[in-house]
Structure 1
Amino acid sequence: MLEILTRITQGKGRDSDIETLLSIAKTVKECSLCGLGQTCPNPVLTTLNYFRDEYDAHIKEKKCPAAVCDALMISPCQHTCPVGINVPKYVAHIAAGEYLQAVETIRERNPFPAICGRICHHPCEGRCRRGELEESVAIRALKRFAADWYFEHVDELPEPEPFPRTRNQKVAIIGAGPCGLSCAYFLAQAGYGVTIFEAMGIGGGMPAVAIPDFRLPREVINSEIDYIVKRGVEIKYNTPLDTKFTIEHLQANGYDAVFIAAGAQKSQVIGIPGESEALAGFHYGLRFLHDAKLGKKVKVGRRVAIIGGGNVALDASRTALRLGAEEVNVYYRRSREEMPVTEVEFDEAVSEGVNVHFLVGPTRITSDEGKVTGLQCIRMKLGEPDDSGRRRPVPVPESEFFAEADTVIAAVGQAADLSFLPPDSALERSRWERLVVDSNSLSTNVAGVFAGGDFVFGAGMIIDAIAGGRRGALAIDKYLRGDRSRVQMYDTRQPGIKEAEKPITEEEGTWEAAFRPEMPMLPIEDRKRSFSETELGLSEEKAGYEAKRCLRCDLET
């Protein structure tokens, strides 16, 4: 068993290893006559039972979710990044004042440095080894600094040119969100002709229509999309797929492959009494943010109640304050630990005056004469974990209470909208109304048709959607080349290959505690009165200081 486990941690695992481990562990446990023999297989059996996905990640994707298997990674931050950005390299470029090279390094894996520099949930920082000394490197903030520098100096830099067209085939992408745009970018980079068909009149997907300007200004999205178009990607706006313009039509018009990246743009229904869009004062979170982002007149009352605890809920709460609400209360049925938002987002919402009530589950939306009057709620406690791994909220008997509100916003999740697919479409769907795809290649049951991102896997983080787009591009490239091998999205350290290093100075050879600089913020009172961006970005001096805090784990031998 030790030999097999060691081989798995070294990236040499085989598909048959899991069954072999189970067989050996069970045999040892059942046949041993001593206590030692009967108990020694327990760690293997237990981890296979509860952490099977981690074994699969190690064997199939050469990924260590905990970022501790050195043989599988170059650095923990790069390994943890869903798209595998060479973080130490671009941080080193910033430290050296080489900002263009930093942006180019980021774009090797991610065509959205400015967007992700603002709204990425930065899992890389959670694995940064500098954090074991004092604080992790501000990787996201450095990404934004480099991207902002690029767009501020874009007129002085060489004009981006289209990637060379080296392949005869062409690919159609459905949806100009982060996943679709990423797939198109990497396919164009691989030499294919790429056209994106977008239903709306603007690109960017959910970030463009649902993430408020105070977190992600529209001009930042436009700049990123403009760069992708200049690299050779064609986007056809106001061109939705429907029963009259289908995937079959695209294939008949000469597209050799189709990638569906339509996103998750439909709000999920809560399913409680009184929930109705016909009520004055009731909104679904995505529609509320969409209308506010596009400048439509959105009316909120004096007291706003928001149901949910994710990004949409907090974005809606902060938007409501800016639209004139005097009191905003967020009701979340779990605790802060289960809340799927970053510390930055949560802290900013609270500092602006949003009240977050944990372990509270709304049970009814009350109304009078067609107008919202409040929420009937019950207090919750956490029980056993559910399928998501989070502890399931359980109602506390006789703990009901009423929360007065004249506006209620439901923000409990998002789902894909498959209505553009004809009822007789050959594409296989799951019982959750999602397309069924191969987890590695993202291929559907229809030859040449692929799908990925939120449209397939449900609403997630933007960096995961970008990773899905890149995986889709790699898979389509393999398909069009006739290569049926697995898609590989991992980088491993190559023995004997090491970046050239200058001699270490006495100053660099010593260590002193150095903490990350605080992100400059718009004053709180100014935030409440406008949709101006709240994070102002690092100065060149602070960015240089922060970049030099990187320990360059990638240079370890």
Structure 2
Amino acid sequence: MALRNNRLTNEEYDEHFSDIHPPFETHNAALVEANRCLFCYDAPCTKSCPTSINVPKFIKQITTENLKGAAYTIFSANIMGGGCSKVCPVEKLCEGACVYNLMEEAPIPIAKLQRYATERAIHEKWPLFTRQASNGKKVAVIGAGPAGLSCAHALSREGVEVTIYEKEGKGGGLMTYGIAAYKVTPQFCQEEVDYITSLGGIHVLYNMQLGKDVLLETLQQEYDAVYLAFGVGMARQLAISGEQLNGVVDAIRFIYEIRTKGYPEVPVGESVAVIGLGMTAIDAATQAMRLGAKEVTLVYRRTEAEMPCTAAELNIAKLDGCNIIWLAAPKEIVGENGHVKTLVCEVMRLDERKLPVGTGELISLNVDMVIKATGQLPYTMAAPKIDNEHGRVLINEHAATNLPGVFAGGDCVNGGKEVVDAVQAGKEGAKAILKYLFREVE
């Protein structure tokens, strides 16, 4: 067993990484589903959306052939509504709240309808928003991910000049670099970033990292306000013997390389163990299978009832042929000639508080690759004067940090949630910054 790349043909890669949730093939197919909507009063689907998209309204607009109106309704609430339609865990949000679930019928395919409206708007570059005249205010945004882009767009619409400092070579953040390629393509991510910035008044400076290429103190002097949206960093360490062996990789780095290098260039083992069962773990496991691994096993220290991923995500892994071992925690990684050979796990049990407790019983997996997906750590604070809790930026109810004129939101504050949560944080940050800039009193 050994890690190697280029395991499959180009045709196999294309097949394995094709769109897992294909769009409607025809306009009539979209209309059929849209016309099923009951257009509920005080709609539970809207209430369950972190960005409060008016779902019945945009679906009604689709039924009346007003696709531009539908796209505007979506983007007004969530400027990344296109990407969110592909990656949101809708089964626990809008579609999970659909009243059809109570009738034991299939819920309205809200995400698919949202994609139907937004994809066309993005591809055809519909100019749905008009930017107000420049008001002379300047804001720096750190990070061109969902929170940063959302904040920048909301500010620019009000006439604020925004400069985004992004440490990577492309924008989109997690959407571009941290999500399975079969959910959203890099090409679409670029189109979405271009669409958002096409409003005007948003300038993105790439390969600019806070604390290295630009200092917070400098930004505070040059701009009227600063919004921190730099996300979170790499996966947590397992803190076990053998973690430094060749073949032990970080899930975020593994997915990052798939997104940046291309499928044939990323090495994968024949027998792979993935530690964790969150969304990132599922993405890593399924993509390892799709890169040509013969066997992939997800190892999780709790039971299915406690898993952080959704049932729909778990089903993707099962359909791809991934195995799952419940109630097991990594104990040691054994190597041979510097390479991973065996993953030793301890069998766990849950105590009365549902916390995993070791039983002393050990099991061994013969693997040549271990992917760590046990949650992400905050970045080391590039601006140590900012109050933080174990690396997470602390903010008040107005998204403000302890430094005057410095605001924050998204994963760098909450430690890592859904893309849609980051978009909402960006909206809230923009609202707070506008009040600060113009000294509005509540």
Question: Which band: TM-score by shorter chain?
Answer: 0.7 to 0.9
Query: Which residue of the other structure, out of 399, 407, 416, is the alignment partner of 2:378?
Result: 416
Partner of 1:136 in structure 2?
A: 107
Which residue matches 2:409?
A: 452
Give secondary structure in 2 for the equivalent of 1:271: coil
Note if contact 2:301-2:356 (Cα within 8 Å) is conserved in structure 1: yes
Structure 1 residues 415-434: Cα deviation after superposition (integer angstroms, max 9, x where no partner): 2213533xxx421122x122
User: C-alpha offsets along residues 220-253 of structure 1, whole Å, 9 cap, x if unaligned?
Assistant: 1111111111112211111222256211111222
Q: Is 1:119 the counterpart of 2:76 in the alignment?
A: no
Q: Aligned to 1:394, which of 340, 351, 357?
A: 357
Task: Give the deviation of 1:139 after TM superposition.
Answer: 1.3
Shift of residue 298 of structure 1?
2.3
- Code of the residue aligned with 2:325 in structure 1: it is H
1:198-228: CA deviations, max 9, x gaps? Answer: 1111001122112122111111111111111
Deviation at 1:162, TM superposition (A): 5.5
* C-alpha separation in 1, matches of 2:172 and 2:145: 4
Residue aligning to 1:96: 64
Contact 1:265 1:414 in 2 (8 A): yes
Match of 1:191 among 153, 159, 180: 159
1:150 to 107, 116, 121: 121
Any idea what SS the aligned residue of 2:255 has? Answer: helix
For the residues of structure 2 that align with 1:97 and 1:161, how far apart are their CA atoms?
A: 20
State whether residues 49 and 94 of structure 2, in contact with CA within 8 Å, keep that contact through their aligned partners in structure 1.
Answer: yes
- SS, match of residue 235 in structure 1: strand
What is the TM-score when the length of structure 1 is the normalising length? 0.68
Q: Which has the larger radius of gyration?
A: 1
User: 3-state SS of the aligned residue for 1:328?
Assistant: strand
Match of 2:315 among 347, 351, 357: 347
Q: Which residue of 1 aligns with 2:143?
A: 175
Matches within 5 A, 1:473-492: 473-485=430-442
Q: Which residue, 239, 248, 260 being the options, matches 1:282?
A: 248
Give, in angstroms, the shift of residue 484 of structure 1: 4.7
Percent identity, please.
Answer: 36
Q: Is the 8 A contact 1:107 1:113 kept in 2?
A: yes
Shift in Å, 1:136:
2.3
**Alignment root-mean-square deviation, CA:** 1.8
SS at match of 2:379: coil
Q: Distance in 1 between matches of 2:408 and 2:425?
A: 9
For 1:327, the equivalent position in structure 2 comes to 295
Q: How many residues align?
A: 396
Q: How far did 1:289 drift?
A: 0.9
Structure 2 distance, partners of 1:481, 1:379, is 58
Where do 1:225-244 residues align within 5 Å? Answer: 225-232=193-200, 233-243=202-212
1:420 aligned counterpart, secondary structure: coil
The SS at the match of 2:240 is coil
After superposition, give the CA deviation of every residue in 1:168-197 in whole Å (9 maximum; x if it has no partner).
211110000011000111111222111111
Q: Which residue does the alignment assign to 1:403?
A: 365
Map 1:500-515 onto structure 2 (within 5 A).
none
CA positional deviation for 1:308:
0.6
Tell me which amino acid in the other structure corresponds to 2:337: E
Q: Following the alignment from structure 2 to structure 1, what is the Cα–Cα distance between the partners of residues 128 and 95? A: 30
What is the CA distance between 1:316 and its match in structure 2?
0.8
Cα distance in 2 for residues equivalent to 1:165 and 1:408 = 53
2:393 alignment partner in structure 1: 435
Contact 1:166–1:192 (Cα < 8 Å) also in 2: yes
Are 1:131 and 1:137, in contact at CA under 8 Å, matched by a contact in 2? no
1:245 and 2:214 are equivalent in the alignment: yes
CA-to-aligned-CA distance 1:330-368 (integer Å, 9 cap, x gap): 101122222222333221221111112222111111112
* Contact map agreement 1:83 1:109 (CA 8 A) in 2: yes
| 1:91 aligned counterpart, secondary structure | helix
CA distance in 2, matches of 1:384, 1:247: 46
Q: Is the counterpart of residue 270 in structure 1 residue 270 in structure 2?
A: no
Q: Which secondary structure state, in structure 1, belongs to the residue aligned with residue 272 of structure 2?
A: strand
1:58-87 deviations in Å (ceiling 9; x for gaps): xxxxxxxxxxxxxxx932221221111111
Q: Residues of 2 paired with 1:355 and 1:113: CA distance?
A: 33
* Residue type of the alignment partner of 1:427: I
Q: Contact 2:46/2:53 (CA < 8 Å) preserved in 1?
A: yes
Q: Does the 8 Å CA contact 2:122/2:195 hold for their aligned counterparts?
A: no
Q: Return 5+ residue gaps in structure 2 as ranges.
A: 1-40
**2:292 maps to amino acid:** G
Q: For the Cα contact (< 8 Å) 1:161–1:230, is it kept in 2? A: no
The amino acid across from 1:410 in the alignment is K
Give, in angstroms, the shift of residue 414 of structure 1: 0.8
Letter in 1 for 2:234: K
Letter in 1 for 2:119: D
Inter-partner Cα distance in structure 2 for 1:447 and 1:147: 37
Q: Is the 8 A contact 1:364 1:375 kept in 2?
A: yes
Partners of 1:139 and 1:447 in 2: how far apart?
41
Q: Which runs of 5+ in 1 are unaligned?
A: 1-72, 386-390, 486-557
Aligned counterparts of 1:235 and 1:187: Cα–Cα separation in 2: 14
Distance 1:265 1:178 in 2: 15
Give, as a single letter, the amino acid of the residue that structure 2 aligns with 1:146: A
In structure 1, what is the Cα distance between the partners aligned to 2:67 and 2:266?
41
Contact preservation (8 Å) 1:260, 1:450: yes
Shift of the 243–406 alpha-carbon distance from structure 1 to 2, 3 Å rule, reads closer
Q: Which residue of 2 aligns with 1:218?
A: 186
